[in-house]
Structure 1
Amino acid sequence: MAGALEVARDALGIEGPDGTGLKTEVPWVRVYDPAMSPSATTGWYAVYLFSGTGDRVYLFLNQGTTADRR
């Protein structure tokens, strides 16, 4: 994927549920820059969200946060 996006391999992280803990009905995959978004609660990143039946996929731009800074 890094090659297709024309970015360095270490500038791209990909993660999703690992199958442990609580199971989710809706699978997802987060695509991020580790320097800009080291965790799902920090920074901006793209998320592929798959339908529970597997016949659809959606692309979202997410902002990770744990605090309201109004």
Structure 2
Amino acid sequence: MNSLIERLITTHRMLNHEIRRELQRRIPDSLRLADLKKRRLAVKDQLFRHMPQAGDFRAAARQVVARFRTQRPITAL
């Protein structure tokens, strides 16, 4: 798999995580949420430019997630 695609998938996952963290705050920052969502959409657009078929994207994401889990232990934030 292309390293660019792996980086985009990882970035997309990290942005999803940040969005979830922001939404769990007592008073979420709407400007930060809007920025995170715009950035996530831009990454998603880049991914679909390189992998136009959704099935390919899901398979690639599974591979990256599996590789990520085996390389780095998950720590509590």
Same fold (TM over 0.5): no
- Higher helix share goes to which structure? 2
- Higher strand share goes to which structure? 1
Question: TM-score band, normalised by the shorter chain?
Answer: under 0.3
Structure 1 length-normalised TM: 0.22
